[in-house]
């Protein structure tokens, strides 16, 4: 799959596999949307993407339904809804996010 120029939403992006995925998609020319609870760590990941990459930071607790609604609306307003999505955080929280994402046009 070619991802250059695409938006890629990554949950669990503040560390581990999510952070590594963010770096990989940025290196491939995609624009990562970084989601996780820890804003400081998300900002560190965004800063590590390189000079030509822009990672957008969205701190959110994906186990909080209201927070998921709010961040979904914010992302839709800011970048639209045409994106790829990857859930790399712990099991359970991602299902709430994916249900909310599917509701969007």
pLDDT of residue 24: 93
Q: Tell me how many helices (H) and strands (E) the chain has.
A: 4, 4
Distance CA 58, CA 63 (A): 14
pLDDT of residue 45: 97
Give domain limits for the chain: 7-103
Q: Is 56 exposed, middle or buried (0-12, 13-18, 19+ CB in 10 A)?
A: middle
Write phi, then psi, for 68 (nearest 5 degrees). Answer: -65, -45
Q: Which fold has domain 7-103?
A: Rossmann fold (3.40.50)
The one-digit pLDDT tens for each residue of the chain (105 residues) are 788 988 899 999 999 999 999 999 999 999 999 999 999 999 999 999 988 888 999 999 988 989 988 998 999 899 987 766 665 655 444 455 455 555 555
Listed residue (93, 85, 10) closest to 53, CA to CA: 10
Q: What is the pTM of this model?
A: 0.81
């Amino acid at each position: 799959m070619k991802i250059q120029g695409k938006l890629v939403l990554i949950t669990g992006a503040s560390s581990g596999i999510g952070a590594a995925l963010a770096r990989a998609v940025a290196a491939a020319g995609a624009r990562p949307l970084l989601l996780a609870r820890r804003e400081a760590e998300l900002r560190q990941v965004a800063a590590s993407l390189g000079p030509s990459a822009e990672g957008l930071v969205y701190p959110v607790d994906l186990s909080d339904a209201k927070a998921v609604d709010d961040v979904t609306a914010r992302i839709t307003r800011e970048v639209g809804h045409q994106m790829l999505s990857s859930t790399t955080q712990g099991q359970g929280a991602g299902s709430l996010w994916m249900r909310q994402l599917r509701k969007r046009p």
